[in-house]
Structure 1
Amino acid sequence: MPFQPVVPTGGVVGWNFLNRTMEAQRAAFTQTESYQRDEDYFRANIGGIRSAEELVEDRRLLSFALDAFGLGDDIGNKYFIQKVLEDGTEDAAALSNRLSDKRYKEFSDAFGFGAGQFPRNQLSFFSDEIVAKNEDSLFEEAVGNVDGDLRIALNLRRELSEIATDDMSETAKFYTVLGNPPLRTAFETAFRLPSAFATLDIDKQVETLQDRVESSFGAATISQFSDDDLTERLVQQFLVQSDIQSFEATSSPAAIALALLQ
């Protein structure tokens, strides 16, 4: 039976409950027999992989690796994933650098199979690194099977912290947020950005998001979210706004009239 987190309700109340019980629930997840088998297999075999082609040919290893970056749905796209890995990230024309979803670049960087890069799966700490990311991602997925907003909230807290402490420019950090689908959803919801926002020129999207972040948090930066308290404020803002938007969607005159007719 798949692991199912205990989340009695959603929103901020559900978020607070999940945080109080997080340690015990994550421990229960990682101790399931199926997870232990997959982790053991990854640790035992990933060091023997010498190329992107070898990795994609081992479906079990590839699945574990993709799940670590939230890309598990791509398990059937072997040629595409092999291309992402073999292109690496050093060349501006590399596939992962041309994709709007920057999780592929992170994935390619992590393995280092591209030209001019070092295969990082040969490093002694590599397995620990990927296992930790896999645990985060799959636990978030399990939470998402119960409540999608709480999955996004967990992802937001984890990934925003990593981006905030990176040494890239502030503009690049905003581009990275917009290039990560779960983070984009969190920010668009938290700042009540309309659906038409995604149709704007990307530079205009960055400018708009900078203005909204500055208005709510005092600075037009992503780096400020290295402060856990500010990140928690953003998470709660996302959850509150998501609840408000859900209420508005079901409380419009048209929705009420439809409910009466039914």
Structure 2
Amino acid sequence: MSFQPVLPLSGYTGWRFLQRTLDSQQEAFSNSGPVKTAAEYFRENISKAATAEDLVADRRLLGVALGAFGLDEDIDAKAFIKKVLAEGTLEKDALASKLSDKRYARLAEAFGYGNAGPRVWMEGFADEIIDKYQAKQFQVAVGEQNESLRLALNVTAGLEEIGAAEKTDNAAWFGMMGNGPLRAVFEGALGFPKSFGKIDLDQQLDQFRSRAQSTFGTSDMAEIAGDPQLQEKLVRLYLIRSEASAMTSLSGANAALTLLSNLR
């Protein structure tokens, strides 16, 4: 049985508790049965996956590979994942290059099959993927109890990935907009409604940058990504507003039940 994260509180108070206990909780989670077994199997067998076809043919290896990038749900989409891996990211018409979800590009780059060649034999490769896998799976476990805290846990890594992949500020903002979990945090923290994603992309960019400037004192994504205090403010606003929204919804539901009871 896997170690279940201890989350006695929700909202920003819960986040502060999780931050204080994060190292010990992650270590306990990584050493729990299924996670530890998956990591050991990957470390011992990944060097056998010389091709993309080899990797997708081994469900246990593929589970760790996909889990490291938050793509667990694609475990049965073998033909799709094989194409992503085999084509790499060097060509503009490669599948991973065309997908708006950049997790696939990061997966393809990490394994290298369609780029400079497989990285599975490189020193430290297995540990690199296992570290990502354990961190992502811990986030999943947190999300099973509290989705808002899972999204908050993704912020630092998500911003680092965008910073490493995008060369211009506009590209970085679009990268955030294409990253579902990270976008949810930005939207919530900056007070955008759920319908916000339906407007024109360029208008979304303008609105994101405008509110970031007024909220954080900067609209430079690199500055936000590189400042721990700004990241903490981003998370704090997101969690406070998420909890307030949840309480409002709950109050509305309770009011509706009261009205229905009175009608009986």
Aligned-partner SS, 2:113: coil
Deviation per CA, 1:69-127, whole angstroms, max 9, x where unpaired?
0000110100111111112111111111222211111111111111x423222211211
Deviates more, 1:201-210 or 1:21-30: 201-210
Residue 42 (structure 1) aligns with: 42
Residue 246 (structure 1) aligns with: 246
Offset, 1:3: 1.9
Aligned-partner SS, 1:90: coil
Contact kept? 1:157, 1:235, Cα under 8 Å: no
Number of residue pairs aligned between Structure 1 and Structure 2: 260
Query: Structure 2 CA distance, aligned partners of 1:122 and 1:163?
Result: 26
Query: Structure 1 CA distance, aligned partners of 2:256 and 2:32?
Result: 47
For residues 84-123 of structure 1, the aligned pairs below 5 Å read 84-114=84-114, 116-123=115-122
Deviation per CA, 1:9-49, whole angstroms, max 9, x where unpaired?
11011111111111111111111122221111101111121
Unaligned runs of 5+ in 2: none
Aligned-partner SS, 2:155: helix
Query: Structure 1 CA distance, aligned partners of 2:20 and 2:162?
Result: 25
Contact kept? 2:55, 2:62, Cα under 8 Å: yes
Contact kept? 2:166, 2:175, Cα under 8 Å: no
Q: Which amino acid aligns with 1:73?
A: E
Residue 203 (structure 2) aligns with: 204
Contact kept? 2:56, 2:81, Cα under 8 Å: yes
Query: Structure 2 CA distance, aligned partners of 1:64 and 1:165?
Result: 23
Deviates more, 1:202-211 or 1:13-22: 202-211
Judging changes above 3 Å, is the alpha-carbon distance between structure 1 residues 259 and 155 closer, same or farther for their aligned structure 2 residues? Answer: farther
Give the superposed CA RMSD: 1.6
- Segments of 4+ moved more than 4 angstroms: none
Contact kept? 1:52, 1:85, Cα under 8 Å: yes
Offset, 1:150: 0.5
Offset, 1:59: 0.3
Contact kept? 1:85, 1:113, Cα under 8 Å: yes
Residue 193 (structure 1) aligns with: 192
Deviation per CA, 1:194-252, whole angstroms, max 9, x where unpaired?
22211122222222211111111111111112111111111111101111222233334
For residues 1-262 of structure 1, the aligned pairs below 5 Å read 1-114=1-114, 116-164=115-163, 168-224=167-223, 225-252=225-252, 256-262=255-261
